[in-house]
Structure 1
Amino acid sequence: MNNMNNMNEANDVSDKNDEKGVNDMNDVNDVNDVNTAALPARTEVAVVGAGPAGLALAVTLAAAGIDFVVLDKLTEGANTSRAAVVHARTLEVLDELGASEELIARGIRVTRFGVRDGSRRLLTVPFDRLPTVHPYALMVPQYETESVLLDRLRALGGAVHRPYEVASVVQDADGVTLTMSTGETLRAAYAVGADGMHSTVREAAGIGFTGSAYEESFVLADVVMDWAPGPAEVSLTFGAEGLAVVAPLPGGHYRVVATVDDAPPAPDLAFVQRLLDERGPGQAKVTGVAWSSRFRVHHRVADHYRAGRLLLAGDAAHVHSPAGGQGMNTGIQDGYALGRAFATGRLDGYEAQRRPVALRVVAFTHRMTRMATTRNPVVRGARNIALPLLGHTAMPRKLATELAELNYR
C-alpha cells in the first residue's frame, strides 16, 4: 500500500474564513506525522486533506485494501482542539473502523444537553435513552480524534505525507493528475477533496458551493473555570446579546462557543469572563484560557459531491453553524461512506446517500442558530414559554436523536 498524506481545515468549528488563535497554556497535544518518503507516482485514490474526514476515508480504504495516497499541506497536524463533540452515530462508524474504544477512553461521556435563558433552565435534551450502543455525546478535543484515527491508519500500514500542497488538479478520461506546489505530480484514478471550505479539488471540479455567511462572528475558547451547571452536561444559553455554548472537556477544561458582533482576533480571559457574565450571570468564574480564536461561519452545501473522477467529503462539501457540534461528525461519516462506496464499486450512490444528510444538518443547525440568536423580544418571549412546555412531549428525545445523527444511518 502506498503511504498517504492529508490534513483538513477543521470540521465542526472550522467552518470559517477568518480564524486567529492564541495558546496561553501548554495543554494541547502535538499531532505530528511528517513523512519524508518520496511521493509515489501513481495510486488509485488521492485524498487531499488529513483532517477527520480525510483520515476516516483513508482508514476505510486501508481496511478494504484499496491503494491510496493522502496529501496535506501542513507540516504537522493541528494541535488545537476545534471540534469537541463526537456524537453517537459517529461512534458507531468508529466502531466499524476499530477506532472507538481508544477515543472513548480519552473523552468524557455527557448524557444531557441543557437549554437556558441566563441561569433559568428551559429544556433538557437527554442522550441516555438513545437507541444505540453509545447513548451519550463524547466530549473530546478534535486533535485527539485525529490522533486516534491516525494511529489506526498507521496500524493498517498507512501514513500521512506532509507537507504537500496541491496546486492544481486536472482530470481526463483515464484519471486525475495532481500537481504539487513543488512541481511534483501524482497520478490517480480518483481524487477526493477533504481539504476544507476553500477546497482546491472542489474548485477544480467546478462545483458550486451554495449558501451564505452569518453576520455575527463566533468566539471559541477552551478555558479553566468554575461553572455552576458543572461538567455533567452541555449548556446552551440564550441571551439578548447572543448565544453561548459551554461544554466540558477532559482535564477539567470547558469549551466556550459564543456569537459576538465583532470578536477580537484572540479573545483573552477578561473578554471570555465578560461574555459569560452577560449571558449567564453568576454562573462562571474563568481562571485560565488554554486556547482561543475567532471565526466566521458559513452555511453552504456543494451543488454536487462528484464531478467525474473528483469527489468531495467533509468541509469541502458542507459547512454550517457549530450549534449542535455536527460538522466534524458529518465529515467523518462522509469519509466512511465514500470509502465503502469505493470498496463496493458504488460511487454513483455516494452523493445520493450523503448530500441529503448535509442539507438536513445545515437546515437544522441554521434553525437552531437563528432561534438562539434572535433579538426580537416577542420571539424570545414566545421561545422561552414554548420550550418548557415542549419538555413534556416527545420533542426532547427527537432533538437528541437528530443531534446524534441516528436518523442518518
Structure 2
Amino acid sequence: MNQPALPSRTRVAIIGAGPTGLALAITLAQAGVDFLLVDRQAEGANTSRAAVVHARTLEVLDELGASADLLRRGIKLTRFSVRDGARARALMTIPFDGLPTPHPYTLMIPQNETEDVLLTRLRALGADTSRPYEAASVVQDDSGVTVTMTSGETVRADYAVGADGMHSMVREAAGIGFTGSAYAESFVLADVDMRWAPGPREVSLNFHSAGLIVVAPLPGDRYRIVATVDDAPHTADLAFLQRMLDERVPGQATAHEVHWSSRFRIHHRVADSYRAGRLFLAGDAAHVHSPAGGQGMNTGIQDGYALGRALASGTLDAYEATRRPVAEQVVALADRMTRLATTHHPAARGVRNIALRVLGHTPFRTKLATELAELNYR
C-alpha cells in the first residue's frame, strides 16, 4: 500500500484517527487551522465496538456538519430500561423523549459507521487522514514538537494531541499519570441476529446474579450484546452466547447468528492532566471506564470538539478546565452503574431492585436521562 507523503511541518499533529481524532480534525478544518491526522490502522480496519451516540454528541455533530448522515444510518431510541433479567421484569424505564434538546433520543449505530460518517465529512472539507503511520515518539521543546514515525519520517508541529487510546504513547511521552484501577470482570461484546422478547424499541440493561447483560438494537435487524464474564473467551461463539442468554434472561432470547464479537477488560481511569506544555490528551488517552451507559465514545467526540475550538481560539487552558471535570463525572457514573449491576450479594440485589422501582416513579428518571445523554456538559 502506498502511504501518502507527510508534510515536514504542521500546526497541530493529531495521533489517532478514531472518533475523537476525527472530531478534532473536523473542528480544526472548519476553523482553517492546519493539522496532520495520522493513524496506524489502514482505512476501514476498525470494528463495531461503541454503538451509542447520545444527544449532546449529536448536538456537537450538528455543529460539525456530520449529524444528518449519521441519523439516516442509525436507529433512534427513546427509552432505556433497567430489568431484572431472571424475572423478565422492568425495574425502571428511563425516557429520553422529553429532554430539552433537538435530539431527544439515543442513536444506535456501530462505531465503524460513525467513523465513516466523520471521515466523509472531513474529506468534504478538503482534508484527510494519513494512513498507515504509527508515531514512535513525540518530543517537545520550547518552540514546538517533533513527531517521529516508526517508518522514520519526522514532522514538526506547534502542538501534538494524543487521541491514541488507553495505552497512549503521547500520554507516556508527556509523563502524565493515569490514575484509577481495573475491574475484576472481563466484558464480552457481540453483534448478533436474534429473537428478543422486549423488542427493538429500547436499550435494555438486565441484572442477574451471574452478571449484567445489555441488549440494544442495531441497524440491519441486529442486536448488540454487552455482558460481564469472569473470564471471557477470545471470541464468543453462538453456543456461548446462547448459554449466557438462557442463564441471565431466560426465555427471552434466541440467537441465530454471530456477526462480530470481542472481549476486553475495563478500567476506570482519568489522566492526571490533559496537557503537558505542547502535548494534549483527548478521548480514551485521557479517560477510560466501563461501557455501562455508553459514555466513552461520546465523551471523546466532545473532547475533540472542545480541544479544536480551544486550539483555534488560543484559549488552551480552557480545554482541561472544562473537559477533565466532565471525565471525572462520566467515569464516576459508569462506575456506579457497573457496581450496582454487578453486585453478588443477595440482600444488596434485593434492596437495589426495590429502590429502582421506587425511584422509577420520581424525577430521578429525568435526572438520570439527562446525565446519560450528557446534556449536563454543554
TMscore range, shorter length: over 0.9
Correspondence 1:402 to 2:377? no
Query: Aligned letter for 1:70?
Result: L
Distance in 2, Cα, partners of 1:397 & 1:35: 52
Partner of 1:271: 240
Q: 2:30 aligns with which of 55, 63, 80?
A: 63
The CA deviation at 1:77 is 3.4
Q: 1:99 aligns with which of 66, 84, 100?
A: 66
DSSP-derived class of the 1:81 partner: coil
Partner of 2:15: 48
Question: Does structure 2 retain, via aligned residues, the 8 Å contact 1:48–1:70?
Answer: yes
- Cα separation, partners in 2 of 1:110 and 1:319, compared to 1, 3 Å: same
Gaps of 5+ in 1: 1-33
TM-score by length of 1: 0.91
Partner of 2:250: 281
Aligned-residue Cα RMSD (Å) equals: 0.8
Distance in 2, Cα, partners of 1:157 & 1:260: 45
The CA deviation at 1:168 is 0.6
Question: Does structure 2 retain, via aligned residues, the 8 Å contact 1:243–1:258?
Answer: yes
Correspondence 1:311 to 2:276? no
Runs ≥4 residues deviating over 4 A? none
The CA deviation at 1:78 is 2.9
- Cα separation, partners in 2 of 1:392 and 1:126, compared to 1, 3 Å: same
Partner of 2:261: 292
Deviation per CA, 1:68-99: give whole Å up to 9, x if none: 00011112233421000000000000000000
Partner of 2:231: 262
**Superposition map of 1:105-254 within 5 A:** 105-118=72-85, 119-254=88-223
Distance in 1, Cα, partners of 2:283 & 2:120: 20
Gaps of 5+ in 2: none
The CA deviation at 1:120 is 1.0
Distance in 2, Cα, partners of 1:163 & 1:94: 26
Question: Does structure 2 retain, via aligned residues, the 8 Å contact 1:35–1:161?
Answer: no
The CA deviation at 1:36 is 2.9
Correspondence 1:378 to 2:347? yes
Deviation per CA, 1:78-126: give whole Å up to 9, x if none: 3421000000000000000000000000000000001101111100000
Distance in 2, Cα, partners of 1:163 & 1:84: 25
Deviation per CA, 1:150-178: give whole Å up to 9, x if none: 00000001111111110011000000000
Distance in 2, Cα, partners of 1:181 & 1:404: 39
Correspondence 1:75 to 2:36? no
Give the paired residue count: 376
Query: Aligned letter for 1:78?
Result: A
Distance in 1, Cα, partners of 2:45 & 2:140: 30
Correspondence 1:326 to 2:282? no
The CA deviation at 1:148 is 0.5
The CA deviation at 1:344 is 1.1
DSSP-derived class of the 1:251 partner: coil
The CA deviation at 1:35 is 7.1
Distance in 2, Cα, partners of 1:398 & 1:281: 31
Partner of 2:338: 369
Distance in 2, Cα, partners of 1:381 & 1:308: 50
Partner of 1:6: none
Query: Aligned letter for 1:364?
Result: L
DSSP-derived class of the 1:157 partner: coil
Query: Aligned letter for 1:94?
Result: L
Question: Does structure 2 retain, via aligned residues, the 8 Å contact 1:35–1:162?
Answer: no
Deviation per CA, 1:15-72: give whole Å up to 9, x if none: xxxxxxxxxxxxxxxxxxx873211000000000000000000000000000000011
Quote the sequence identity (%).
Answer: 74
Question: Does structure 1 retain, via aligned residues, the 8 Å contact 2:4–2:131?
Answer: no
TM-score by length of 2: 0.99
Distance in 2, Cα, partners of 1:76 & 1:148: 13
Distance in 2, Cα, partners of 1:339 & 1:78: 25
The CA deviation at 1:182 is 1.1
Question: Does structure 1 retain, via aligned residues, the 8 Å contact 2:55–2:374?
Answer: yes
Distance in 2, Cα, partners of 1:334 & 1:80: 21
Query: Aligned letter for 2:50?
Result: A
